[in-house]
Amino acid sequence: MTIGGIIVNRGRTSQGRPADDHHGWHPTSAHTTAIAVGTLLLAISILAARPDIALVGIPGLLAATWATTTRPTTPLTTTLHEPPGPTAPGELAATLRLTTAGTPGTTPTADIAHLRITAPGHRDTHLALATTRKPGAGEAGVREVALRLSSVRTGPQETFSVDVRGSRHGLWEEEPTEVGGARRLVLPGAAPLGRLPLPRRLRGLTGPHSSRRLGDGSELRDIHPFTPGDRLRRIDWRTTARRSPELDTLYVRRTYSSAEATAVLVVDSRDDVGPDLRTWRGYGTLRVDEPTSLDLARHAAASVAQALVETGDRVGLEDLARRRRPLPPASGRRHLRRVVHGLALAHPKDRAADHRVRPPQVPADAVVYLFTTVLDDEPLHLVRTWRAKGHPVVVVDTLPDLHPVIEHHLWIAWRIARLEREDRLAALAGEGVPVVRWAGSERDQAAVRFEALARAAERNAPGPSTSAPRAAAP
Amino acid sequence: MTRYLVAEWIRRTRLRLADPAARPLPEVTVGSGPGVRGWVLRLALAVLCPLLLLTAAGRSPGLAAGLVWTVVVLATILLVVRPTPAAAGGVVVGSGVLLWGFEPGPFDPWSFVVALLAYLLTRVTWWAAHVPPGGRAEAAALLVGWRRDLGVLGATVLLGGLAMLAEGTTLPAAVLLGACSVVGIMLLALATNGSARDDGPSRG
């Protein structure tokens, strides 16, 4: 920290002397100018024998005199308070606390604070504030200022950097100080979804769904003669009395066992593209008030994960760009938080796809939700591999709605890329892979589309028709 | 071919006008009281500067109108473009010279108005120098030093009144006293105990 031109570290100058009373206050050029103007006008008035000319410079001289007699001695202390832990999109906020050691009315200290607030993707904000508020409006000598970013982006985000300079009477100024916010993690939000496509075969002995296997459940399968191993409490006495009045054969009610579905969310985080094609070249600034493809993928995946966990199903997470252990499928609120946290940390990595020699391993009988922009052939290969192994796949298209481009070469490049992408989507549709779009106005239709897919799968799926969410993806 | 080029030009112009990426970046939301934008302060300067110079020049009928208007326009442009204390000081000195008009004369009561406008111009210039056109100054911050400003202006009126009263007298002592008081104020203002880049009090 530099105070009055002296480098001060931990309260001491470079010579080791204490710098307690070095608060960096120095008179401004306005102070010097006021004295110079007053002196000059006084000289002119003497030369011209006109005292009224000197009067023009008197207010400035008086103000400079007043400022000299009230030299500030205490610094303006600034701290930035941010709520701990991760946050949600649109809620990146902090509180700037301006503390004056004394009361500006009695102890000479800063009466105005000049702020320059910078944040990535935002305009610089210049603001001049009074360091004290009205009496009774809060703690004496303390001014709290609420700050909020307009970012809708998710994942790790840089926050505020505030340069503060105190001034007194406009004639004394303090050396500027800088306070900065920490890098914060913005977790993706989740939109409510209805029923979702589920795998054809369900796993486990407990869960919210009825499987096609016999077992302990609530769904009636059939009435069957008693066999060794059947529980006595399952004997249906009414049926037995009707079918075997002599009680030579007992009948039991057999039910389908309950089961749970397993879903794996695969996030294609190898690229992160925004609606502005000019930023696709690797340079240019992505706007923070528009979601990118990765933001949409995080949002869609969090929504699907929440819908599945709420119905008691198991959800796992795979990140295509990172070579780390995937989150194995599990259920419960705590696991949902882990999934959302993992989604927030997904980000592109250079040539990450080159390291993957084969598609991510997926548990048996799991449905795969692939969140991708389909801008290259890799998703197509992944889908075909999973389907060849018998996994139903649902592709969620997370390419944002693009802005029109003016540059001719970009327009041509995008036409070619778009045609290739449409070919891939058409190939997926031809192979019976459902593609749900999750961008712009079509995001609102995504829940309806998922519901339609779930119903279509339910009609085609063998086994019991259940009221619980159960469907098979095509 | 020409039709295609015209259509292409119209398409590009339409796209350029409706380009969503060209809109300004969002601003950080700050929870502060009502305020004034920086461009309003510059607008106030554009009004105050001609007002001050024309008020001062109006008391000197001998000045050429072309010269006065040239000075007014140049000074206003300078202040609006570069609102620095030095520029404001130059305008204040200029107003004093215009008030003088290079002619001897009695104590002009309009000098009170000129002094008030000069002080107001100096304060607004300071604010304009510290708040960029897109920035904002809280209204409470603008009014922070109003007691001091009233005190300064009251003292100026008092000194001016005394000067007016002493003007008709032939007492050299009164004139000397007035001059000494102004010089005393100046010396007090200069006693800042340090340079403009103050390193604090000296240590033994």
In this predicted structure, the answer to whether residue A172 has a pLDDT above a threshold of 50 is yes
> Residue A55 and residue B148: Cβ atoms within 8 Å?
no
Rounded Cα distance between A328 and B193, Å, is: 71
Rounded Cα distance between A222 and A236, Å, is: 11
Q: Which of A25, A35, A55 to mutate to test the interface with B (most CBs of B within 10 A)?
A: A55
> Residue A42 and residue B12: Cβ atoms within 8 Å?
no
Give me the phi and psi of A35, to 5 degrees please: -65, -45
Structure confidence at residue A409 (pLDDT):
87
pLDDT interval class at B74 (50, 70, 90) = very high
In this predicted structure, the answer to whether residue B171 has a pLDDT above a threshold of 70 is no
Mean pLDDT to the nearest integer, A189-195 = 88
Distance from CA of B67 to the nearest CA of A (A): 20
> Residue B95 and residue A52: Cβ atoms within 8 Å?
no
User: Residue A52 is nearest to which of B108, B119, B130, comparing CB atoms?
Assistant: B108
Structure confidence at residue A267 (pLDDT):
92
Q: How far is CA A316 from the centre of its chain?
A: 20
Structure confidence at residue B198 (pLDDT):
38
- For A391-428, how does the pLDDT look when each residue is reduced to its tens digit (9 = 90+)? 999 999 999 998 888 888 888 999 999 999 999 999 99
> Residue A55 and residue B115: Cβ atoms within 8 Å?
yes
Structure confidence at residue B189 (pLDDT):
60
Structure confidence at residue A8 (pLDDT):
53
Structure confidence at residue B197 (pLDDT):
41
> Residue B141 and residue A128: Cβ atoms within 8 Å?
yes
In this predicted structure, the answer to whether residue B117 has a pLDDT above a threshold of 80 is yes
Mean pLDDT to the nearest integer, A325-347 = 90
Rounded Cα distance between B108 and B106, Å, is: 6
Residue with more model confidence, A20 or A283: A283
Structure confidence at residue A421 (pLDDT):
94
- For A6-32, how does the pLDDT look when each residue is reduced to its tens digit (9 = 90+)? 555 544 555 555 444 545 788 888 888
Structure confidence at residue B194 (pLDDT):
44
Distance from CA of B62 to the nearest CA of A (A): 16
Dihedral (CA of A46, A47, A52, A54) sign: negative
Q: Which of A40, A47, A58, A73 to mutate to test the interface with B (most CBs of B within 10 A)?
A: A58
In this predicted structure, the answer to whether residue A465 has a pLDDT above a threshold of 50 is no
- Asked whether B80 and B46 are in contact (CB, 8 A), the reply is yes
Residue A441 makes CB contacts below 8 A (sequence gap 6+) with none
Structure confidence at residue A306 (pLDDT):
93
Task: Using alpha carbons, list the distances in angstroms from residue A136 to A78, A133, A143.
Answer: 21, 8, 12
Residue with more model confidence, A336 or A68: A336
Q: Is B202 on the interface with A (CB under 8 A)?
A: no
In this predicted structure, the answer to whether residue A160 has a pLDDT above a threshold of 90 is no
Distance from CA of A65 to the nearest CA of B (A): 4
Report field, pTM of the whole predicted structure over 0.80: no
Strand residues in A48-148 grouped as ranges (E): 76-81, 93-100, 112-118, 125-130, 142-148
Mean pLDDT rounded to a whole number for chain A: 82
Please compute, for residue B52, the number of CA atoms within 13 A of its CA located in the half-sphere on the CB side.
32
B chain contacts of residue A114, beta-carbon cutoff 8 Å: 130
The neighbour count for residue A159, using CB atoms within 10 Å, is 22
- For A27-72, how does the pLDDT look when each residue is reduced to its tens digit (9 = 90+)? 888 888 999 999 899 888 888 888 888 888 889 988 888 888 878 8
Distance from CA of A466 to the nearest CA of B (A): 48
Q: Which of A258, A257, A263 is nearest to A209 (CA)?
A: A258
Q: Is B154 on the interface with A (CB under 8 A)?
A: no
> Residue A38 and residue B201: Cβ atoms within 8 Å?
no
Give me the residues of B, 43-62, that contact A with CB < 8 A: 56
Distance from CA of A425 to the nearest CA of B (A): 27
Structure confidence at residue B175 (pLDDT):
58
Structure confidence at residue B204 (pLDDT):
31
User: Residue B107 is nearest to which of A30, A51, A170, comparing CB atoms?
Assistant: A51
Q: How far is CA A193 from the centre of its chain?
A: 19
pLDDT interval class at B168 (50, 70, 90) = low
User: What share of chain A has pLDDT > 90, as a percent?
Assistant: 26
- Asked whether B125 and B84 are in contact (CB, 8 A), the reply is yes
> Residue A32 and residue B108: Cβ atoms within 8 Å?
no
- For B58-69, how does the pLDDT look when each residue is reduced to its tens digit (9 = 90+)? 888 878 889 899
pLDDT interval class at A266 (50, 70, 90) = very high
Compute the CA torsion angle A293, A446, A87, A294 (nearest 10 deg).
-10
Q: Is B173 on the interface with A (CB under 8 A)?
A: no
User: Residue A288 is nearest to which of B12, B26, B145, comparing CB atoms?
Assistant: B26
Rounded Cα distance between B35 and B16, Å, is: 34
Residue A154 makes CB contacts below 8 A (sequence gap 6+) with A89, A186, A187, A188, A291, A294, A295, A298, A299, A344
Distance from CA of B143 to the nearest CA of A (A): 9
In this predicted structure, the answer to whether residue B128 has a pLDDT above a threshold of 70 is yes
Do β-strands A314-319 and A327-330 pair in parallel, antiparallel, or remain unpaired?
antiparallel
